[in-house]
Every structure is written in C-alpha cells, then in structure tokens.
Amino acid sequence: MARSQHPEIILASGSSARAQVLARAALPFTQRVSDIDEPALVASQNRELTPVEIPELLAQAKGRAVATEVAQEITSPTLILAADSVFEFNSSVYGKPHEPEIAIERWRAQQGQSGTLHTGHWLGLLHPEKPGALKQQVVTDSAEVEFAAVDEQTILDYVATGEPLGCAGGFTLEARGASLIQSVQGDPNTVLGLSLRVVRESLQAWGYRLSDWWD
C-alpha cells in the first residue's frame, strides 16, 4: 500500500523534552515558540479552572498563536502540535516552581507520595490553499506519578542542579529526576509532556498514520 502524503510538523513549544519525544519517534519537525502570557491567560478566565482545563487552555492558545503566524507562510499541508502540562497534588495544581525554595517545599511534601501529571494536547491542521480553514483537536492525557521516599539532602542536591525549576511539578522523567520516581501509571511520554499515543490516535482521525513520516 502506498503511503499517504504527510503534512509538515511544527512543534509549538520550546521544550527540549517534547522535542526529544518526537525525535526518538523518528518524526521530523521544526520548532516555533509562541509568545503567550500563561498566568495572565489563566487569570482572564475569571473562574477557577480544573486541573484538566488549564493545560487544555494553554495548549490551545500556544497552538493557535503559532498557526496564525505561519498560515501565510506555509506552502504545503502543515500540522501544528502544541502541549502544556500541570501537576495535580493533594487537589492543588502546580506548574513550574521556578524558584529553588518553592521546589524544595514541593519535594518535601511529595516525596513518598503520588500525584497526577495532566498534559493537554492541541493539534491543528493547515492547508496553504485554505488559509482560513483550520482543523483542530484537543485531547488531555493523565498519568499517575509515585515519588520515592528520599531524604532531605537528596532533595537539596536535586534542586541545586536547577533541573526541576522549569518543569511542571518540579521533576523530570528523562534526567536526574528519573532516579527519584518510584513508578508511573499511564503513558510515560505524557509525563515528559507529549503523548505519542494521543498524537497517533488524533492523526488517525484525520486519515494519517505515524508511519507515514518514517523514512
């Protein structure tokens, strides 16, 4: 069976972890980062969003912003892929800690415990001959993360590396933080910030297969 012509892929994210997920799956792509004020966007909703609504809102905003930017530039069908993640712990929602003191406090609370990482995905399909038409899908996937019971010095050492400061929930699964994770129930790529299963199933709904992109 002949392979269908596949769209170009633009990852609407500056995340190296999401880029690595696509690269490991042999999916060629380019990256384009949107300029979205995430806290302001969430606050503008004038209500308390659920842990699932937040990453969906932010993923849609990032993806649509990039789609608008490239709509007049593309010369072939183009897939825009955006994602955002939040961590839910003890019924509270946590994004990136940014500050070491915040990361330390979070790790003191979550070590030996578990929480849920929610990743919202937005996929948009653009065609150059129809610049105003945009097919889109929004899907959120969640994974349960159990943390190892670690001592205070390990927490301090981990935060001192700077690794968790820019990650939702203050941890990573692909680097030093992997040694502090006891188990993951669900798609590990969801914890990394981009579920390939979600991408595959969403593309299938549009008549594409992930293998269409493989050399």
pLDDT digits (tens, 9 = 90+) for 80-130: 999 999 999 999 999 899 999 999 999 999 999 999 999 999 999 999 887
CA distance linking residue 108 with residue 127, whole number of Å: 49
Cα Rg for the chain, rounded, in angstroms?
Answer: 18
pLDDT digits (tens, 9 = 90+) for 46-65: 899 999 999 999 999 999 99
pLDDT score, position 2: 42
pLDDT score, position 185: 98
Query: What is the number of alpha carbons within 13 Å of residue 34 lying toward its C-beta?
Result: 25
pLDDT score, position 70: 92
- Element of type H or E holding 196: helix 196-205
Please check whether residue 51 is in contact with residue 88, taking contact to mean a CB–CB distance below 8 angstroms: yes
pLDDT digits (tens, 9 = 90+) for 16-26: 999 999 999 99
Active site residue 212: no
Mean pLDDT of 128-149: 91
Catalytic residue among 35, 37, 84, 212: 84
Distance between alpha carbon 127 and the CA centroid of its chain, in Å? 24
> Helix (H, G, I), strand (E, B), or coil: what is residue 92?
strand
Please check whether residue 194 is in contact with residue 119, taking contact to mean a CB–CB distance below 8 angstroms: yes
CA distance linking residue 29 with residue 117, whole number of Å: 25
What's the CA angle centered on 123, arms 4 and 28, to 5 degrees? Answer: 55
- Report if pTM > 0.85: yes
Tell me the percentage of the chain whose pLDDT exceeds 70. 98
